[in-house]
Structure 1
Amino acid sequence: MVWSLSGGGLSHRVLTPLLQGVPFEALIPYGIMLAFFGVSGAGLSKLRHMQNGGKRGRHSVDQWDRQMMERDRRLTGFLRGQTDNVRAPPGFELSHPWKVSLVIDEGREPHADHPEAREGDYVKLRLRIP
């Protein structure tokens, strides 16, 4: 800070600071950056709020909570959705996450339990658990 002497005579000397202008042109980029950080933060917060079905985000989600959220997603179509219907909607029994697929490997001997399998085909069921 720069000080100057003001006053006319020797008896009235008072130290006063000189007022200097602030170069606001140098502050414009900081204002733009601050505005964009605020807009992007608000946008991400709104996006997360919409993805949760208008509910607040969940913290400390364990395996049981994940399983119930997956069941709610299969029941309602939303991860955080809930329903008070007593009966499950049609197709709920078919949307189970455990998938069974039929795999036919050629070039192996048929299994003794499946004599109807052709020579060279080996039939096995594969259970995929997510």
Structure 2
Amino acid sequence: MVCLYVDDLIYTGNNLPMIENFKKSMMLEFDMSDLGMMHYFLGLEVNQSVDGIFISQKKYVQDILDRFQMKNCNTMSTPMEKGLKLVKEPEGRKVDSTLYKQIVGSLMYLMATRPDVMHAMKAVGHLVGYTDSD
């Protein structure tokens, strides 16, 4: 299996000689560097071991908390209160909707490794104008 994203090439398989042959042929054809086992890719942290391949986004979450100055916020064990229904308050205080859209957009990328936050992000995303097609 081969994945190409801009200038990053990731490959894997279950046939080590074939993988090595692929790597050699690609390096002969293109100016490439072998960075070894993958550790980070598109904000995903990758840990490969004999037990399997595990991904997380710990650094990405820390970057989001830093970017939006929320490093010291209160933690919650669940992403959304059970049964909570979010509604817009037309008479509510005006806020910077661009900032909230940036926060929601950043958090939506977490759904790659944290499907448990999907419902909460969809609910909040709907309030700031995100739709299923965004």
- TM-score normalised according to structure 1 size: 0.22
| More helix as a share of residues | 2
Task: Report 1 or 2 for greater relative contact order, CA contacts < 8 Å, sequence distance ≥ 6.
Answer: 2
